[in-house]
Amino acid sequence: MEHGSATATASPNIAFVKYWGKRDEELILPYNSSVSMTLDDSLNTVTSVLFSKELNADRFFINGEEQDLSDNDIAERFKVVGIMRRKAGSADHVLVVSRNSFPTASGLASSASGTAALAYACSRALGLKLSAKELSIIARQGSGSSCRSILGGIVVWKKGRNADGSDSYAKRIAKKEQWPDLIDIIAIVSTERKRVLSRSGMQQTVESSSLFKARAKFAERNSRDFAKAVKSKDFDSMASIIMKESNDMHAVMLDTYPPIIYLNDVSKEIIAAIHGLNESSGKALAAYTFDAGPNAHIITLKGNEEAVRNALSRVDGIRETITAGIGSGPRALSEKDSLIDMERLMPKS
């Protein structure tokens, strides 16, 4: 092939059963299975790739800024490109241009949507016909949680048992249409960059937390129970697993030495407000979950949005909220949406 290009879009996912801890750092294999919902287009990454003999080096731009490919974090995500190139038998250099549509204040990690969009765009540009399973296995090696953003709806990432990672990939457990009302109200509490990155933080947990050894077993059971609750349309059980999972993950973070503390006082106020709302309603209207930061994700159904907003309005310190629905996964965009200027072989200005 002389050259190949493609543009794809993917969205982040929010984990209901959390991934925190790798049993294999190179292949990115987790200690436990995890479950998430892929978000809709309200938050997304668009990525264009061009493989061409006319390029004399690999180049990678995110939001207009050129990335240093010798930086560890960037090189890890870029691993996806190397895997794709080997699969396609290509030796061409690549130009990758990526843009996150996230509201700058969202504080959301872009690694999941970015790596999923990169994998999806590379496979199309190189003419590889890969299944969702194959794409998920490749994306996983760039960033663990990105393997779940390869699919829409509610998704489980099976931890797998094989040493080569061939059985550690994401599978959909419910289509978007089965849970069309599921939403994530993101309450922005802080826009500061996180001090401890997920990658090094989770490794410190594996090395130093004794509670973590127990977590793997609970989390595996929670993944199975969550899948059952999704199938039986049991939001009450889903909500309690979501909240307990978040609490459990933040407990092992605190048990890490030195401790990793992502939640702040506003996060804790939100936790109390959601429990208060559920108690006064006599059933679970909503669930909170927190990732590697203090911003809250409130998982609820569209019909409960007003009640949740009411409860949140009584918490001081929430800067803004962003609501995302359930998404349908990555998709290819047309050439006119490409972020690459094919004449100059540079990002479009």
Quote the tokens at residue 347: 């990002």
Contact, 116 vs 139, CB < 8 A? yes
- Which residues of this chain interact with ligand 2P0, rule CB under 6 A? 15, 18-20, 28, 34, 109, 111, 143-145, 198-199, 291-292
Q: What φ, ψ does residue 228 adopt, rounded to 5°? A: -65, -45
* Choice between 18 and 215, CB closer to ligand 2P0: 18
Residue among 295 and 338 whose Cβ is closer to ligand 2P0: 295
Considering the complex, what minimum distance in angstroms separates the CB of residue 292 from ligand 2P0?
4
124 vs 159, beta carbon nearer ligand 2P0: 159
In order of 11, 55, 171, 222, 310, the CA distances from 46 in angstroms are 9, 21, 23, 33, 34
Nearest-approach distance from CB 299 to ligand 2P0, in angstroms: 13
User: Considering beta carbons, is residue 192 or 279 the nearer one to ligand 2P0?
Assistant: 192
Q: Least distance from C-beta 54 to ligand 2P0, angstroms?
A: 32
Residue 73 exposure: Cα atoms within 13 Å on the Cβ side: 8
> Looking at beta carbons only, is 138 or 285 nearer to ligand 2P0?
138
Closest separation in Å from C-beta 29 to ligand 2P0: 10
DSSP assignment, residue 175?
-
What is the number of the residue whose Cβ is closest to ligand 2P0?
A: 144
CB of 310 to ligand 2P0, least distance (A): 28
Q: Are 81 and 58 in contact (CB under 8 A)?
A: yes
Return the number of the residue (198 or 300) whose C-beta is nearest ligand 2P0. Answer: 198
- Smallest gap from residue 85 Cβ to ligand 2P0 (A): 20
Tokens standing for residue 99: 């843009």
Give the residue among 44, 55, 137, 61 at the shortest CA–CA distance from 96: 61
- Please tell me whether the peptide bond between 258 and the residue prior to it is cis, using omega within 30 degrees of 0: yes
Contacting residues for 267 by C-beta, under 8 A, at least 6 apart? 189, 290, 294, 295, 296
- Whose Cβ is closer to ligand 2P0: residue 242's or residue 285's? 242
Q: How far is the CB of 140 from ligand 2P0 (least distance, A)?
A: 8
CB of 101 within 8 A of CB of 337?
no
**Are 45 and 110 within 8 A, CB to CB?**
yes
